[in-house]
Structure 1
Amino acid sequence: MEPGDHDGTPDDETGETEPARRLALTRRSALLGLGAVAGFAAVDVGGFAYAGGWLRPGTPTPLTPARFADRFEQVSGRHDGFRRNHAKGLAATGTFASNGAGAAICRAAVFRAGTVPLLGRFSLGGGLPDQADKPDTVRGLGLLLQAGGQQWRTAMINLPVFTDRTPEGFYERLLASKPLAGTGKPDPQKMAAFLDRHPETVAAMKIIKQSPPSAGFADSTFYGLNAFWFTNSAGATVPVRWSVVPQNAVGPGGPQPPRGKDYLFDDLIRALAQGPLKWRLLLTIGEPGDPTNDATRPWPQSRRSIDAGTITIAAVQTEQAGNARDINFDPLVLPDGIAASDDPLPPARSAVYARSFTRRAEEPKSPSEVNVAQVLA
């Protein structure tokens, strides 16, 4: 699920050798897109997938990373060299300035007071690298932060909950959401049948519709969606979900009329030409009874959140070799102090990202749809 490309999430690989080491949805009208992805492969695909419980070796047609990648190609076509989901994007560079507050619940070096570099990627859900920007297309933000010789990678989207609880559910929705040749929209009967079988997706969509998209990337809140375990220096462990909340002054709220095919990315490029953009990293702490294995269900708004510091994006770059084009925002690349929970989606995402990356790494690379220099010319 490339994040899942995600439709969510769900929605490429571990990637421990790319330059970053040296320093995760189709449209909502089609019931969203998967989750975010990227990167360099060095992951045991079978191990992660089996650990997630979604490979079915004893069945005639087991759900495998290869089948997921094939399905993305069947829905969006094959586009050599691009991610199978969240294909359209821009690389980014910046910093994370930790205020030290996160260290109360997590011993990872990234939460010690201080500033560390980051690589990132802004993207749109779906497998079309040249799709036209639309306000309701899922937006993604992938981040790679490095501190203390360890990396933390996360792929977030601008939806408050995920549309699917399990990899199997995501795959079923992907099948049901394939556009018909005559209308360009999913088969309504197949989609209705899917929703009848998955009331959790219906409930998630109601929540998502209550949070209309903002005008652009700069004023989007991005959510990690899945729960992880955070452990502090004293050995205390708590469940955590995180989000990044914009701190940027933007124009009038609400979706703006499209001004060109790439208007969301063009606006981001022009905004950064005027100065850095900032988001606050919030760590929300779960309490007993809060689901850690179901990304379709939100935690109560009353849960305590810690403002852990400021994410600053200083610049974006046209995707090319050596920047975030080659980073896999694998959700299981975690530093000491952060561990996966019982949520079945991250292991599946990790495995599918790896399969996607190994394919695109061997393919010729076409020019990026979004070119920073052309926008600023």
Structure 2
Amino acid sequence: MTRSTSAPPNLPVRLAAIAVAVGGLAAAFGYAAGWFSPQRLTPARLVDTLEQNFGVHPAYRRNHAKGLCVVGHFQSNGAGSEVSRAALFARGSVPVVGRLAIPGGNPAGSDGAAPLRSLALRFLPEHGQEWRTAMNAAPVFVVNSVEGFYALQQASRPQADTGKPDPAKLAAFFQAHPETGAFREWAKTATPSSSYANSAYHGLHAFFLVDANGRERPVRWSVQPVAEYQPIAAQQRGDADFLAAELHQRLARGPLRWRLQLTLGEAYDPTHDATRAWPAHRRSIDAGELVIERAQAEQGGPCQDVNYDPLVLPDGIRASDDPLLSARSAAYSESFNRRTREQAALAAKEPQS
């Protein structure tokens, strides 16, 4: 990964762009976690806030609106069965429907300007017990509280005259929220990858794995690319639509592959705070290979109507005490309901053949 020796002058704006990208619909966490009263904050009002920041684009997701569907399978090597009784970790192949995307609520957003990439996956074992997970290229989350993320949404609202956030408001936000330190250090030197295919993706939140004997272990997961990481090239930064085309070119040469890594925490590692990374020497299990075989446009594709709710979990994986998880589920539901209603309304207006 390329690294700069000094922070750019517009660093607060850059940090905010990446932070909002990582957060997605996280601003709606507050209501579901009970940290705000319904009179002050609800999932609907918070999705409204995202629409104010990104614009309203009917029938599209409220964040990560620009993306494409991918289809493939997870080839489990059986190693995950040591720590989880989930059927998908048994040796064998499990179908996967995923989605690769860039952040932001604009479906015509620029790939070249996107600060990171995201990958969402839906694992579909033969006998049910599916697993859904949404991951981002950032290894840690930006804040550890709903109040903090809501404040970031307010501070990062684009100004009418420039279309960009107010750097002074962002600087004040980061000064008031020291928990953002690890994220800010990462963002100072992070360079987006040149492809969806050569980026790592991190689950950010902690969960628990439950084995066949009922023993529980804290876990964070990621998928690590087999393709070598390459930073975004200068010519790509000016290209608004290179990611999908580049992915199709790679797929024409063969499937794309990542390794699923299960990083096990110790009893004293934080499971409630996604801003705090676990020590690098924690044990990691290579559970198998994610293989992507084909991609297609999201509209009409197999991922179009999938809500990648992080609490759709199989027996053998359970949610941690991270308060953001249950509320993220509620926010995704609000966004899903809006866009599916809009899709139905648009379909009703189409002329019948």
TM-score class normalised by the smaller sequence: 0.7 to 0.9
Mapping of 1:14-25 within 5 angstroms? none
Task: Please state how far the C-alpha of 1:262 moved relative to its aligned partner.
Answer: 0.5
Distance 2:319 2:32 in 1: 11
Distance 1:132 1:122 in 2: 14
CA deviation profile, 1:290-312 (whole Å, cap 9, x unmatched): 11111111111000000000000
Distance 1:141 1:219 in 2: 12
CA deviation profile, 1:339-377 (whole Å, cap 9, x unmatched): 11011111111000000111111114899xxxxxxxxxx
Letter of the structure 2 residue corresponding to residue 85 of structure 1: N
- Residue in structure 2 matched with residue 53 of structure 1 by the alignment: 34
Distance 1:66 1:145 in 2: 29
- Residue in structure 2 matched with residue 128 of structure 1 by the alignment: 106
CA deviation profile, 1:92-143 (whole Å, cap 9, x unmatched): 1000000000011110001000001000000011101001112652211000
Mapping of 1:144-163 within 5 angstroms? 144-147=122-125, 148-163=127-142
Task: Please state how far the C-alpha of 1:211 moved relative to its aligned partner.
Answer: 3.9
Distance 1:358 1:202 in 2: 35
Unaligned runs of 5+ in 2: 1-12, 347-353
* Equivalent residue for 2:183, pick from 204, 213, 225: 204
Task: Please state how far the C-alpha of 1:270 moved relative to its aligned partner.
Answer: 1.3
SS of structure 2 residue aligned to 1:72: helix
SS of structure 1 residue aligned to 2:204: coil
- Residue in structure 2 matched with residue 217 of structure 1 by the alignment: 196
Task: Please state how far the C-alpha of 1:184 moved relative to its aligned partner.
Answer: 2.4
- Residue in structure 2 matched with residue 32 of structure 1 by the alignment: 19
SS of structure 2 residue aligned to 1:258: helix
8 Å contact kept, 2:15–2:187: no
Relative to the length of structure 1, the TM-score reads: 0.82
* Equivalent residue for 2:76, pick from 63, 81, 98: 98
8 Å contact kept, 1:37–1:83: no
- Residue in structure 2 matched with residue 372 of structure 1 by the alignment: none
Distance 1:64 1:114 in 2: 43
Relative to the length of structure 2, the TM-score reads: 0.87
* Equivalent residue for 2:235, pick from 258, 277, 283: 258
Distance 2:31 2:162 in 1: 38
Q: Root-mean-square deviation (CA), in Å?
A: 2.4
8 Å contact kept, 1:54–1:348: no
Task: Please state how far the C-alpha of 1:30 moved relative to its aligned partner.
Answer: 2.6
SS of structure 2 residue aligned to 1:362: helix
Distance 2:47 2:129 in 1: 29
8 Å contact kept, 2:132–2:313: yes
Task: Please state how far the C-alpha of 1:31 moved relative to its aligned partner.
Answer: 4.2
Stretch moving more, 26-35 or 203-212 = 26-35
Mapping of 1:69-88 within 5 angstroms? 69-88=47-66
**CA shift in 2, pair 1:342/1:330, >3 Å:** same
SS of structure 1 residue aligned to 2:311: coil
Task: Please state how far the C-alpha of 1:258 moved relative to its aligned partner.
Answer: 3.4
Q: Which has the higher helix share?
A: 2
Distance 2:281 2:114 in 1: 28
Distance 2:46 2:235 in 1: 32
- Residue in structure 2 matched with residue 19 of structure 1 by the alignment: none
Distance 1:36 1:268 in 2: 25
- Residue in structure 1 matched with residue 336 of structure 2 by the alignment: 357
SS of structure 2 residue aligned to 1:149: coil
**CA shift in 2, pair 1:366/1:306, >3 Å:** farther
Task: Please state how far the C-alpha of 1:27 moved relative to its aligned partner.
Answer: 6.5
Distance 1:320 1:355 in 2: 20
CA deviation profile, 1:54-94 (whole Å, cap 9, x unmatched): 3434xx41x22112210111001100000000000001100
Distance 2:189 2:273 in 1: 19
**CA shift in 2, pair 1:74/1:143, >3 Å:** same
Task: Please state how far the C-alpha of 1:219 moved relative to its aligned partner.
Answer: 0.5
Mapping of 1:292-307 within 5 angstroms? 292-307=271-286
Distance 1:81 1:110 in 2: 32
Question: What is the aligned residue count?
Answer: 329
Stretch moving more, 134-143 or 261-270 = 134-143
8 Å contact kept, 1:80–1:365: no
- Residue in structure 2 matched with residue 139 of structure 1 by the alignment: 117
**CA shift in 2, pair 1:106/1:340, >3 Å:** same
Task: Please state how far the C-alpha of 1:37 moved relative to its aligned partner.
Answer: 7.5
Task: Please state how far the C-alpha of 1:216 moved relative to its aligned partner.
Answer: 1.5
Distance 1:153 1:55 in 2: 27
- Residue in structure 2 matched with residue 243 of structure 1 by the alignment: 222
Distance 2:159 2:216 in 1: 48
- Residue in structure 1 matched with residue 173 of structure 2 by the alignment: 194
